[in-house]
Amino acid sequence: MNIFRLAGDMTHLASVLVLLLKIHTIKSCAGVSLKTQELYAIVFATRYLDIFTSFYSIYNTLMKLVFLGSSFSIVLYMKYHKTVHRSYDREQDTFRHWFLVLPCLLLALLIHEKFTFLEVLWTFSLYLEAVAILPQLVLLQRTRNIDNLTGQYVFLLGGYRGLYILNWIYRYFTEPHFVHWITWISGLVQTLLYADFFFYYSQSWKNNKKLQLPA
Amino acid sequence: EEDYFDHDEL
C-alpha cells in the first residue's frame, strides 16, 4: 500500500459517502444518474467475486464490502425509496447504458490476462468501470442546476482514478513484476473521460460560481 | 516464473 493508492481509495470512499449523504439525509437524488449507479453495482459485483476465493487483508475485504453494499443500496434507494425516487431526473437520464455492457463483456472475452472465469469477469469490470461514468456526465450536461454535492461526487470519483494512475506509476518503479496494461489503459481512458468535467469544475471553483456545463 | 497476478487493488 502506497500513499497514492490509499489516497485514491479514501477519495473513492469519500465520493460514495457524499452520494449517500445526499440520498440518505437530503432524500434527493436529483442530478444523479441511476444508469451509472446500476453500472457501478455490476462493476463491483463482478470485480469483487474474489472475496470468496482469496484473502488479501482486512482492509481489502472491508473496502470491497463497503463498495458493494453502497453501490447496491444507492440503486435500491433510487429505485424504491418513495421520496428519493420522486427526485430522480428520469426524463433526462436516458443514456442507453445496457448497450455498454455487451461490448465490455465481448472485449473481456477477447482481451484478458488469463482465461478463467474470475479473471474474465475482473477484466470485464475494468472495461465497464471505464465507461460507467458516461450516463452521469451526460446527465450533468443536461441538468441546468448542478448542486454542490453532485458536483463534488463526480469530482471525487474522477480524483480517485487520477490518484490510482499515480499509484500505478509508483508501483511500476518500486515493484519488479508490476505490469498490467489492461488495468492501466482502462484506468487511463476512464480518467480522460473526466478531463472536460474537471476543466469546468475548476473554472467554477476559481470564479466561485455555480458549476454549469455547456450544452 | 511465479504466477504473479495482482488483485489486491480495489
A9 touches chain B (CB under 8 A): yes
Long-range CB contact pairs, A8-11, < 8 A, 24+: A8/A159, A8/A160, A8/A161, A8/A162, A8/A163, A8/A164, A8/A166, A8/A167, A9/A63, A9/A160, A9/B10, A11/A156, A11/A159, A11/A160, A11/A163
User: Residue A67: which of A75, A55, A79, A78 has the closest Cα?
Assistant: A75
Weakly modelled stretches of chain A, pLDDT under 50: none
A5 touches chain B (CB under 8 A): yes
Among the partner residues B4, B7, B8, nearest to A177 by beta-carbon distance: B4
Q: Inter-chain contact B8–A60, Cβ cutoff 8 Å? A: yes
**B1 — pLDDT class (breaks 50, 70, 90):** very low
How many whole angstroms separate alpha carbon A213 and alpha carbon A197? 8
B1 touches chain A (CB under 8 A): no
How many whole angstroms separate alpha carbon A173 and alpha carbon A107? 29
pLDDT digits (tens, 9 = 90+) for A107-151: 999 999 999 999 999 999 999 999 999 999 999 999 878 899 999
- Provide CB contacts within 8 A for A198, sequence distance 6+: A155, A158
Q: Which residues from chain A sit within 8 angstroms of residue B9, using beta carbons?
A: 5, 164, 167, 183
The interface predicted TM-score (ipTM) is: 0.80
